[in-house]
Structure 1
Amino acid sequence: MALAACGSDNNSSSSTSSTSSSSTSTTTTTTATTGAYDSALAFDKSNYTTINVTIDGVKTPVRWYKEVCYVAKPIAAAATQSGLMGTTTISNTACGYQSMNIFVPESVASSQDAAIYFAVNNAGWMSSYITASVADGGTFNSSTSNVGAALKAGYVYIDVATRGRGMTAADGTYAGKAPAAVVDAKAAIRYLRLNDSVMPGNANHIVVNGTSGGGGLSSIIGASGNSTDYLSYLAAIGAAGVTSDGATSTLRDDVLAINAYCPITDLGNADLAYEWMYNILSTRSTVGSYPNPTGSSSLMAKFVAYQAGLGLKTSSGTTLDATTMLAAIKAEVIRSAETYLAAGGTIPNYGETFTFDASSASVVSSYVNDWITIDNSTKKVTALDMEKYLKFVATQKVLKNTPAFDQTGLTITASSGESNMFGTTAQVYSNFTEYSWDNNDVAGDGIGYLDTGYSWTQYSALSTTPLVKQIKLINPMAYIGNASTAPYWYVRHGTRDRDTAFPVSLNLSRALAADSKVSDLNYRLAWNQPHAGNYDVPEAMAWIAKTLNAATAKGL
Structure 2
Amino acid sequence: MHHKNTPLKACAAGAAMLLALAACGSDTESVRESAGAFDSALAFDSAKYTTIDVTIDGVQVPVRWYKEVCYVAKPTAVSATQATLSGATNTITNTACGYQSMNIFVPETTAASNDAALYFAVNNGGWFASYIKASVADGASFNSATSNVGAALKAGYVYIDVATRSRGLTAADGSYPGKAPAPVVDAKAAIRYLRLNDARMPGNANRIVVNGTSGGGALSSIIGASGNSADYLPYLASAGAAGIDANGRSTLRDDVLAINAYCPITDLGNADLHYEWLYTLYGTRAAVGRNPNPDGSAQLAAKFAAYQQGLRLSNGSGTALTADNMIDQIRQEVIRSAEVYMAAGGTIPDLGEEMPYTSGGATRTYTNDWLDVDNGTKKVVSIDMPKYLKFVATQAAPKAAPAFDQTGMSVTAASGESNLFGTSSQKYSNFTEYGWDNNDAHGDGIGYDDTGITGSRHFALATTPVMNQVKLVNPMAYIGGADTAPYWYVRHGTRDRDTAFTVSINLTRALQADPKVQEVNYRLSWNQPHAGNYDVPEAMAWIEQTLKAAAARGL
TM-score by length of structure 2 reads 0.94
Query: How far is the alpha carbon of 1:453 from its aligned partner?
Result: 1.4
Separation of aligned partners in 2, 1:176 and 1:244: 24
The secondary structure found in structure 2 opposite 1:325 is helix
Check conservation: 2:103, 2:162, Cα contact below 8 A: yes
Q: Which residue number in structure 2 is paired with residue 50 of structure 1?
A: 51
Q: Does 1:282 align with 2:283?
A: yes
Check conservation: 2:65, 2:106, Cα contact below 8 A: yes
The secondary structure found in structure 1 opposite 2:540 is helix
Check conservation: 1:404, 1:417, Cα contact below 8 A: yes
Residue of 237, 240, 243 corresponding to 1:241: 243
Q: Which residue number in structure 1 is paired with residue 345 of structure 2?
A: 344
Gaps of at least 5 residues in structure 1 are 3-27
Q: Which residue number in structure 2 is paired with residue 219 of structure 1?
A: 221
Separation of aligned partners in 2, 1:30 and 1:62: 31
User: Which residue identity is paired with 2:57?
Assistant: D
User: Which residue identity is paired with 1:109?
Assistant: A
Q: Which residue number in structure 2 is paired with residue 449 of structure 1?
A: 448
Q: Which residue number in structure 2 is paired with residue 259 of structure 1?
A: 260
Q: Which residue number in structure 2 is paired with residue 331 of structure 1?
A: 332
Listed as ranges, the matches of 1:300-339 within 5 Å are 300-339=301-340
The secondary structure found in structure 2 opposite 1:324 is helix
Separation of aligned partners in 2, 1:542 and 1:56: 17
Listed as ranges, the matches of 1:28-47 within 5 Å are 33-47=34-48
The secondary structure found in structure 1 opposite 2:303 is helix
Identity of aligned residues (%): 71
User: Which residue identity is paired with 2:235?
Assistant: Y
The secondary structure found in structure 2 opposite 1:389 is helix
User: Which residue identity is paired with 1:121?
Assistant: N
After superposition, what is the alpha-carbon deviation per residue over 1:198-248, rounded to whole angstroms, capped at 9, x for unaligned?
Answer: 1000000000000000000000000000000000000001000002342x1
User: Which residue identity is paired with 1:444?
Assistant: G
The secondary structure found in structure 2 opposite 1:132 is coil
Q: Which residue number in structure 2 is paired with residue 530 of structure 1?
A: 529
Separation of aligned partners in 2, 1:32 and 1:118: 21
User: Which residue identity is paired with 2:290?
Assistant: S
Query: How far is the alpha carbon of 1:433 from its aligned partner?
Result: 0.3
Listed as ranges, the matches of 1:180-195 within 5 Å are 180-195=182-197
Q: Which residue number in structure 2 is paired with residue 488 of structure 1?
A: 487
Query: How far is the alpha carbon of 1:363 from its aligned partner?
Result: 1.4
Listed as ranges, the matches of 1:360-399 within 5 Å are 361-399=360-398
Q: Does 1:137 align with 2:139?
A: yes
| Cα distance change, pair 383–171 in 1 and its aligned pair in 2 (3 A) | same
After superposition, what is the alpha-carbon deviation per residue over 1:74-112, rounded to whole angstroms, capped at 9, x for unaligned?
Answer: 011111111113101110000000000000000000101
User: Which residue identity is paired with 2:392?
Assistant: V
Q: Does 1:508 align with 2:507?
A: yes
Check conservation: 2:168, 2:419, Cα contact below 8 A: yes
The secondary structure found in structure 1 opposite 2:306 is helix
User: Which residue identity is paired with 2:378?
Assistant: K
Mean alpha-carbon deviation: is it higher for 450-459 or for 224-233? 450-459
Mean alpha-carbon deviation: is it higher for 151-160 or for 440-449? 440-449
User: Which residue identity is paired with 1:63?
Assistant: R
Query: How far is the alpha carbon of 1:355 from its aligned partner?
Result: 2.0
User: Which residue identity is paired with 2:296?
Assistant: G
The secondary structure found in structure 2 opposite 1:207 is strand
Query: How far is the alpha carbon of 1:186 from its aligned partner?
Result: 0.1
* Superposition CA RMSD, Å: 1.4
Check conservation: 1:235, 1:245, Cα contact below 8 A: no
Separation of aligned partners in 2, 1:168 and 1:454: 28
The secondary structure found in structure 1 opposite 2:35 is coil
Q: Which residue number in structure 1 is paired with residue 108 of structure 2?
A: 106
Aligned residues: 528
Separation of aligned partners in 1, 2:131 and 2:358: 30
| Cα distance change, pair 160–255 in 1 and its aligned pair in 2 (3 A) | same
Check conservation: 1:30, 1:250, Cα contact below 8 A: no
Q: Does 1:420 align with 2:419?
A: yes
Separation of aligned partners in 2, 1:31 and 1:377: 61
TM-score by length of structure 1 reads 0.94
Q: Which residue number in structure 2 is paired with residue 117 of structure 1?
A: 119
Separation of aligned partners in 1, 2:64 and 2:32: 36
Q: Which residue number in structure 2 is paired with residue 150 of structure 1?
A: 152
Q: Does 1:161 align with 2:163?
A: yes
Q: Does 1:92 align with 2:94?
A: yes
Separation of aligned partners in 2, 1:512 and 1:371: 31
Runs of 4+ aligned structure 1 residues displaced above 3 Å come to: 28-33
Check conservation: 2:33, 2:252, Cα contact below 8 A: no
The secondary structure found in structure 1 opposite 2:323 is coil
Check conservation: 2:244, 2:252, Cα contact below 8 A: yes
Check conservation: 1:55, 1:141, Cα contact below 8 A: yes
Mean alpha-carbon deviation: is it higher for 220-229 or for 433-442? 433-442
User: Which residue identity is paired with 1:93?
Assistant: T
Check conservation: 1:29, 1:249, Cα contact below 8 A: no
Check conservation: 1:29, 1:250, Cα contact below 8 A: no
| Cα distance change, pair 412–102 in 1 and its aligned pair in 2 (3 A) | same
